[in-house]
Amino acid sequence: MPEGPEIRRAADRIERAIAGPLIEDVQFAFDHLQSYESDLIGQRVLEVETRGKAMLTHFDNGLSIYSHNQLYGVWMIRKKNNFPQTRRQLRLAIHGDEKMALLYSASSIEVLDKKGIKNHSFLGGLGPDVMNKRTQKRTLSNRLIKQLEKHKRRQLCGSLLDQKMVCGIGNYLRSEILFLAKLHPSRRPVDCTKEELKSLVKLMISVPEQSYKTGGITNDLKRAEQLKAQGARKSHYRHWVFARKNQPCYVCGETIIKSTFAGRRCYHCPRCQKL
């Protein structure tokens, strides 16, 4: 499933397609939302904000379209009036002057004002988004340190997936962050030194950022380029440990292990990430 970097890249594509010029048409598939179409037509999209796997498409009249792709939703950017051939159900269409942003198969769509966003049951429970352009790194770092210290006896493998602490980090990022921090998934903050926690927090910010900039690559970029030049598929050079069960660690050569932590698959190197 897509994580914070992939959601942010999708939001970027939507912004490039429809932000700025007056919106010429908005179409909702759900009857209870169709009364908002006239409120949004003729407005401008200011930005597309990400909050975990949710998006907020902000219009200049103070209204925002909340959308969450869940398991099957997908955004498509198309030239004006050039709809794709697909069996998916079109749930939302936003028509700009040259391009359209089309949301297929998603079932979680709402129109919210500022108060509605503040009081939203899902959004209200989220921590800061690691990929949100408004998030200040220093503020986020301080918050993460405090949260880890607050839940000092909780395994790191669970904390990193806690969207109330920070949203945007999912399963592949969790494995990669813990590997680079040289921390076993079952370690707890109480088991770590202050320097280890500081390093972990830095990686919780920098690894998603690299993934965003590179289209999902969390591995060493020079190694990734070398493997790509040798003809390797992206799935073979994309990550340090994630989805690399029984393959050698790039650092020490030990065999990568796949385990289950916090109900999700997790990968680690037993030598680099000693318990």
> pLDDT (tens digit, 9 = 90+) per residue, 213-231?
999 999 999 999 999 999 9
Encode pLDDT of 254-275 as tens digits.
999 999 987 889 999 999 999 8
Claim to verify: residue 263 and residue 202 sit in the same structural domain: yes
pTM of the predicted model over 0.85: yes
Active centre residues (catalytic) = 2-3, 53, 264
Claim to verify: residue 110 and residue 141 sit in the same structural domain: no
pLDDT of 68 above 70: yes
Claim to verify: residue 141 and residue 264 sit in the same structural domain: yes
- Residue 95 belongs to a domain: yes
- CA–CA gap between residue 67 and residue 92 (Å, rounded): 10
Claim to verify: residue 192 and residue 92 sit in the same structural domain: no
Cβ–Cβ under 8 Å, residues 251 and 268: no
Q: How confident is the model at residue 55 (pLDDT cuts 50, 70, 90)?
A: very high
- CA–CA gap between residue 99 and residue 77 (Å, rounded): 7
pLDDT of 74 above 80: yes
Claim to verify: residue 46 and residue 109 sit in the same structural domain: yes
- Residue 14 belongs to a domain: yes
- % pLDDT > 90, the chain: 89
272 bridge partner residues: none
- Give the per-residue pLDDT at 1: 64
Encode pLDDT of 119-132 as tens digits.
999 999 999 999 88
- Residue 197 belongs to a domain: yes
- Residue 274 belongs to a domain: no
Domain containing 157: what range?
137-268
